[in-house]
Structure 1
Amino acid sequence: MAELFRNHPEYNPLSPLEYELTANAADDLIIVKGRMSCDVRMQCSRCLEPVEEKIEVPFEEQFRMVAEEKEETSEDVEEAVPVTEERIDLAPYVMEEFVVQLPYAPLCSEDCKGLCPECGTNLNEQSCGCNTEKIDPRMAALQDWFKSQKE
């Protein structure tokens, strides 16, 4: 399981990857379907606090039995993975699908306020009082003009 997250240090597995898969054969196709799940610790993309979440991912992959000598034609290059051996190692397919389905920008909550861009205070815990008002640089001259009109 550690090798699954080797290139993704922002994700830390808290449990083994659990999966329940079934394989069905139809003609020269083998269809593998099921679900995978794992408890993962991540960092909130807004406030950087740790987030623990059970990630559940559906899995479906199609494999096509082909002879070794036979070259793939454009008809064979569908969504099915060509297989020439009697056994199929599902581990690379399962791991790849799980990593692809991990949240790109995990959040501790939908209403997370994040960190103050000025002082770095976690705005979920306290207010910092920094002026974070964004002024469009194209309108900055107008702001100065309005200030001079008040005086």
Structure 2
Amino acid sequence: MIIDLSSFLDETINHIHFEEELEENSIDFGGRKIIFTEPIKCEGNIYKVDGDKLINGDIFFKYEEPCDRCLKPFIQEVKTVLSGKLIEGSGNVYDDDDFEQIIYYNNDTLDLRDAIMSQIVVSLPMKSLCSLECKGLCPRCGVDLNNNKCNCVLENVDPRLEKLKDFFPKK
């Protein structure tokens, strides 16, 4: 996703509105595989405030991933925000001391791909769940507890407290 900044930098125009789509199939990070089910959409504006060049936009994407509890794949829709300060130079997207994201541009062109992908990774939940009510799989027999019940008896005893069981008589 490349945006031409030449007319913005020579002050012919005072802001740039963009609506772009980014074609990505998937990303892998931290042992997770995120599969995008449709193109990533990004819409926003580039403008100047007190001499700084700023970007503010929305990112919309749909992805498929297996649930961390029941392992069934599900599709999730996410909207996140891309905002930061544009600086001429080269480098990766990073956060400065003022907690503001820095996005680099070169030769009057801005490539937003890395900034968008970084924001997508940050916006993903730490634990992917198909629903908050998902019961997951039985740790003993593996049955999907959302669809079936099992007769397994689970004794969840903290190993640090296991010795305390000896103080109570067995029934």
TM range (shorter): 0.7 to 0.9
The count of aligned residue pairs is 137
Partner of 2:164: 139
Q: TM-score, normalised by structure 1?
A: 0.77
Q: TM-score, normalised by structure 2?
A: 0.69
Alpha-carbon shift at residue 138 of structure 1 (Å): 2.4
Change (3 A) 1:28 1:17: same
Q: Does 1:52 align with 2:75?
A: yes
Distance in 1 separating the partners of 2:116 and 2:124: 13
Seq. identity, %: 27
- Report SS of the residue matched to 1:124: coil
The residue type paired with residue 5 of structure 1 is: I
Distance in 1 separating the partners of 2:107 and 2:129: 43
Question: 42-51 or 78-87: which moved more?
Answer: 78-87
Task: List, as ranges, runs of 4+ consecutive aligned residues in structure 1 with deviation greater than 6 Å.
Answer: none
Is the Cα contact below 8 Å between 1:41 and 1:52 reproduced in 2? yes
The residue type paired with residue 84 of structure 2 is: E
Partner of 1:103: 125
Distance in 1 separating the partners of 2:130 and 2:103: 37
Is the Cα contact below 8 Å between 1:28 and 1:65 reproduced in 2? no
- Report SS of the residue matched to 2:110: coil
Distance in 1 separating the partners of 2:97 and 2:151: 59
Q: Does 1:64 align with 2:117?
A: no
Is the Cα contact below 8 Å between 2:70 and 2:144 reproduced in 1? yes
Higher strand share: 2
Deviations 1:70-89 (A, max 9, x none): xxxxxx96534465642222
The residue type paired with residue 148 of structure 2 is: Q
Which structure 1 residue ranges, 5 or more long, are not aligned?
Answer: 69-75
Distance in 1 separating the partners of 2:63 and 2:70: 18
Deviations 1:105-144 (A, max 9, x none): 111111111111111111111111101121341223135x
The residue type paired with residue 23 of structure 1 is: I
Is the Cα contact below 8 Å between 1:29 and 1:65 reproduced in 2? no
Deviations 1:10-35 (A, max 9, x none): 31110000110210112431111111
Q: Does 1:31 align with 2:54?
A: yes
Partner of 2:37: 14
